[in-house]
């Protein structure tokens, strides 16, 4: 089951890459005609913007292992955990949208897999969540990795993005998440800007 994420990643069209995530949160169009849709993706404002659900007494945002800044999300980290962080965003019609997030997993599991972090989207009006990624205790642990996932299929829709950790009764696993970003980009505006120098000559 060690290859689960890799297989799913390929199936979902996910690329793992090492480039840096988008700068946090300007809500106006940037030079690439893109808008950041996630509020507080780096968790530096605590739980602001996120809807937490947990069956434990623990805060889901804390200073234990942030990738950047002082705070990050911590999901699982105990047995029988059921932790969720969700945010609802609207994606503009006719634009591309890309989810990026960084994750790190630490586990005490000697064999795999038993504990997982599932990333899903649920379009408004739908009762069905669609899995974008599954990270398990069988994946590479102890280092930050970035997931990059196209959300183009949800252009024009309001979606609930969810990170959910589920651990079994023994040998806990910690799932850390930081620097979550969904950038919606106006491809038409971008191509116009690229054309501009040629038009004005
Ligand atoms: Ca952070
Ligand atoms: Ca476990």
- What pLDDT, on the 0 to 100 scale, is given for residue 104? 98
Note the pLDDT tens digit of each residue in 12-44.
434 444 344 444 444 566 767 899 999 999 999
- What pLDDT, on the 0 to 100 scale, is given for residue 187? 79
Q: Which ligand is nearest to the CA of 106?
A: 2
Q: How far is CA 169 from CA 4, 36, 101, 173, in A?
A: 21, 38, 27, 11
Note the pLDDT tens digit of each residue in 84-112.
999 999 999 999 999 999 999 999 999 88
Mean pLDDT in the chain? 86
Structure tokens at 11: 């199936």
Q: What is the whole-number distance in angstroms between the Cα of residue 171 and the centre of ligand 2?
A: 4
**What mean pLDDT is predicted for residues 46-67?**
96
Counted domains in the chain: 1
Nearest to 160 by CA among 37, 76, 13: 37
pTM of the predicted model over 0.85: no
Q: What is the whole-number distance in angstroms between the Cα of residue 67 and the centre of ligand 1?
A: 6
CATH of the domain at 96: 2.60.120.260
- Domain with 52, as residue range(s), is 4-200
Beta bridge partners of 15: 148
Q: What is the whole-number distance in angstroms between the Cα of residue 115 and the centre of ligand 2?
A: 5
Q: Which ligand is nearest to the CA of 109?
A: 2
**Residue 189 pLDDT level (bands cut at 50, 70, 90):** confident
Q: Which ligand is nearest to the CA of 177?
A: 1
Cβ proximity of 50 and 162 under 8 Å = no
Q: Which ligand is nearest to the CA of 165?
A: 2
Q: Is the pLDDT of residue 54 over 70?
A: yes
Q: Which ligand is nearest to the CA of 176?
A: 1
Q: What is the whole-number distance in angstroms between the Cα of residue 103 and the centre of ligand 2?
A: 18
The alpha-carbon radius of gyration of the chain (Å, integer) is: 18
């Amino acid at each position: 089951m060690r290859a689960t994420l890799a297989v799913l990643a390929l199936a979902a069209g996910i690329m793992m890459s090492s480039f840096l995530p988008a700068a946090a949160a300007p809500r106006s169009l940037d030079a690439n005609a893109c808008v950041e849709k996630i509020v507080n993706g780096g968790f530096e404002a605590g739980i602001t913007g996120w809807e937490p659900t947990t069956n434990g007494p623990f805060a889901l945002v804390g200073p234990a292992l942030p990738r950047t800044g002082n705070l990050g999300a911590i999901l699982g980290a105990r047995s029988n955990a059921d932790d969720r962080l969700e945010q609802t965003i609207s994606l503009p019609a006719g634009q591309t949208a890309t989810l990026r997030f960084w994750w790190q997993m630490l586990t005490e599991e000697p064999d795999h897999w038993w504990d997982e972090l599932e990333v899903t989207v649920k379009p408004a009006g739908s009762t069905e969540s669609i899995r974008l990624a599954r990270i398990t205790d069988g994946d590479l642990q102890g280092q930050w990795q970035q997931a990059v996932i196209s959300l183009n299929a949800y252009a024009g829709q309001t979606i609930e993005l969810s990170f959910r950790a589920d651990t079994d009764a023994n040998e806990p696993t910690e799932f850390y998440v930081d620097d979550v970003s969904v950038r919606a980009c106006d491809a038409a505006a971008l191509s116009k800007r690229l054309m501009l120098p040629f038009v004005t000559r």
